[in-house]
Amino acid sequence: MNYNPFSPEVQANPFPYYKYLRDHAPVYQVPDFGLWAVSRYDDVMKVLRTPQVFSSAGFFSFFMGDLDPFPKGAPAILGVDPPDHTRLRKLVNRAFTPRRVASLERHVREVALRLLERMPAHGEFDLVPSLSIPLPVIVIAELLGVPPERYPDFRRWTDAVVQATNGTIIAPEKREETRGNFSELFAYFREAIAAYRREPKDNLVSDLIRAEEENQMLTGEEIQALAVFVIIAGSETTANLIANATLMLCEHPEQMAMIRANAALIPNVVEETLRCEGSIQLLPRFAMEDYEIAGTTIPAGSPVMALLGSANHDERKFPDPDRFDIMRNTEGHVGFGYGIHFCLGSQLARLETKTVLETVLERFPRLARKDNQPVKRVESMIVRGLKELPLRSE
């Protein structure tokens, strides 16, 4: 069984391929691409917890090539190694605090209810364009201080950034348009940073301007890069998590009945979705030296894929891993990565998904898929998400 992360068959259902790799080739070189795939839980953890051997530098340029939007002097935090990463992470943590995230819950619920009001209480609707995509975009826009009149532009810029960074192949005729969107986005944040330096507001950009660690402050270029990274981390991942969680509940009505009877179980749904149908399926790294894993030596300079989706389905860690079970112990899942690059927006994604599930179940006492046709998934080697999720309420 050939594992090729670029193939439509693997992207549609990677889990049988993951199992084959774990059983027969835990460290596997993808034919014709020079990529090394690491699939077992313990080995994936080894890659993620050893940044001195498996570097994150070049993360975005690896997938995006000449479309990498980040300035050379201020790459995305996900593509930086220590000590630069340590400095950036400390500064960002001062702005992206648990208290700030927790304070957003009421507002996230208000946004969800506003979007739900546009959807019929009885009838058919598509969750993806109606709720799972717009909600995180609106929340991130407001978190960054984007005024409502710029939301249409922000949505266009977000769509361009997300498409370019999720491993989707962009047609040649669309690449110039994508670059134009990137230029507009960075120009917007340059102007916003200048304005918030003069007159700070209660938003994340102002917090990043004020952040300081050991007399070090973020440069304007670093703040731009971090703001764009927040868009990437806070929109696509959450949109897919919301849609995937809703799909799993529709496909497991007995578990939907459990959370209707006990809403306290909704966080379990979020964690089991992260494990079973995680939004991010792999993270790329680069081997800085020859390194042996599971009896195979990965040569220095090789691109390495830590298969998060496979690690989360490793039966050595999670018994009966292909079964969706909101009562299982999900401790240790790597749905948000692990180590120094553990997802900065993980708590916000959890909060948004929990809140959306609560509001959806409140509004729709009976909810099911519109039909039993195979779902249409996002074409990406990195993310696992849905293009659409037609539902019906009765």
- Structure tokens that stand for 190 in this block: 């340059």
- Structure tokens that stand for 248 in this block: 């799993």
The whole-number average pLDDT for the span 9-18 is 95
Q: What pLDDT shows up at residue 56?
A: 87
Strand pairing report for 390-393 and 123-126: antiparallel
- Structure tokens that stand for 334 in this block: 């790597």
How far apart CA 209 and CA 217 sit, in angstroms, is 8
- Which pLDDT tens digit goes with each residue over 184-194? 998 999 999 99
- Structure tokens that stand for 241 in this block: 């998590």
**Whether pLDDT at 213 is above 60:** no
**Whether pLDDT at 170 is above 70:** no
**Whether pLDDT at 169 is above 90:** no
Q: At a CB cut-off of 8 Å and minimum separation 6, what does 86 contact? A: 340
- Which pLDDT tens digit goes with each residue over 300-329? 999 999 999 999 999 999 999 999 999 999
How far apart CA 347 and CA 103 sit, in angstroms, is 12
- Which pLDDT tens digit goes with each residue over 68-80? 666 666 666 777 7
The pLDDT-based confidence of 214 (bands split at 50, 70, 90) is low
The whole-number average pLDDT for the span 277-295 is 95
Q: What pLDDT shows up at residue 143?
A: 87
How far apart CA 66 and CA 283 sit, in angstroms, is 20
How far apart CA 350 and CA 267 sit, in angstroms, is 8
Strand pairing report for 123-126 and 212-213: unpaired
The whole-number average pLDDT for the span 328-348 is 90
Amino acid at 161: V
How far apart CA 190 and CA 86 sit, in angstroms, is 24
- Which pLDDT tens digit goes with each residue over 226-260? 888 788 777 888 999 999 999 999 999 999 999 99
CA angle 31, 13, 380 (to 5 degrees): 70
How far apart CA 80 and CA 235 sit, in angstroms, is 21
CA angle 24, 335, 139 (to 5 degrees): 150
Q: Which of 302, 185, 276, 190 is nearest to 235 (CA)?
A: 185
Going from the C-alpha of 251 to that of each of 20, 270, 365, the distances in angstroms are 25, 15, 16
The whole-number average pLDDT for the span 35-49 is 97
How far apart CA 158 and CA 144 sit, in angstroms, is 13
CB 112 within 8 A of CB 131: yes
- Which pLDDT tens digit goes with each residue over 116-141? 998 887 889 999 999 999 999 999 89
CB 54 within 8 A of CB 286: yes
Q: Which of 77, 129, 135 is nearest to 104 (CA)?
A: 135
What average pLDDT does the chain have?
A: 88
Task: Report percent pLDDT > 70 for the chain.
Answer: 91
How far apart CA 11 and CA 166 sit, in angstroms, is 12
Handedness of CA 88, 91, 93, 97 (dihedral sign): negative
Q: What pLDDT shows up at residue 75?
A: 63
- Which pLDDT tens digit goes with each residue over 91-108? 777 666 788 788 888 899
Q: What pLDDT shows up at residue 1?
A: 79
The whole-number average pLDDT for the span 61-65 is 64
Give 187's DSSP letter.
Answer: H
* Domains with residue ranges and CATH for the chain: 8-393 (1.10.630.10)
CB 57 within 8 A of CB 81: yes
Q: What pLDDT shows up at residue 157?
A: 87
Q: What pLDDT shows up at residue 71?
A: 61
CB 186 within 8 A of CB 73: no
CB 226 within 8 A of CB 208: yes
- Structure tokens that stand for 62 in this block: 């690896």
